[in-house]
Structure 1
């Protein structure tokens, strides 16, 4: 849809701006993790029920859920937190307001 200067598509301009900011925030997290010497999670594997069962790191390593939990608790993985829910430990991305880098929204491998 072509918009002239007298009638710009404000919604599209805002969405583009928002997406650019989210992409920049995600890139900043990856760069910060790299300078800290920590790997970040870049992809996930899910089972047939949609549950995350494994992770791929920024260096290409593939970790099962328990190994990822242990590395996160040891501080070796950037931008993730471990918390307890339903009587077990859960791995989640740090809340940053960017849904694209939430573990459930990462690409699959």
Structure 2
């Protein structure tokens, strides 16, 4: 099972894509799909009331911003 190891952010600091331990770079929406399908471990989805997209949250640290993860590029 894959895990998230790095993140890519836009100019505002929002996460736009993730890198997995297999080297794949996937969009935020694709990550949500794969978390729902059980293909990515170590994270969970947390619903938001003000957005149609759930928040991806690191299970081990409850970190929704992945602050300790390195950038992809």
Counterpart in 2 of 1:55?
A: 18
- Report which of the two has the higher share of strand: 2
Aligned-residue offset at 1:97: 4.2
What are the ranges of 5 or more consecutive residues in structure 1 without an aligned counterpart? 1-37
Query: Quick one: structure 1 residues 70 and 49, their matched pair in 2 at CA, closer, same or farther if it must change by over 3 Å?
Result: same
- Report which of the two has the higher share of helix: 1
For the aligned residue pairs, the C-alpha RMSD in angstroms reads 1.8
TM-score under structure 2 length normalisation? 0.83
What are the ranges of 5 or more consecutive residues in structure 2 without an aligned counterpart? none
How many corresponding residue pairs? 69
Query: Quick one: structure 1 residues 60 and 54, their matched pair in 2 at CA, closer, same or farther if it must change by over 3 Å?
Result: same
Describe how 1:1-109 pairs up with structure 2 within 5 A: 38-85=1-48, 86-88=50-52, 89-94=54-59, 96-97=60-61, 103-109=66-72
Aligned-residue offset at 1:104: 2.9
TM-score under structure 1 length normalisation? 0.58
Could you list the structure 1 runs, at least 4 aligned residues long, displaced by more than 4 angstroms after superposition: none
Give 1 or 2 for the bigger CA radius of gyration.
1
Higher relative contact order (CA 8 A, sep 6+): 2
Classify the secondary structure of the residue corresponding to 1:53. Answer: strand
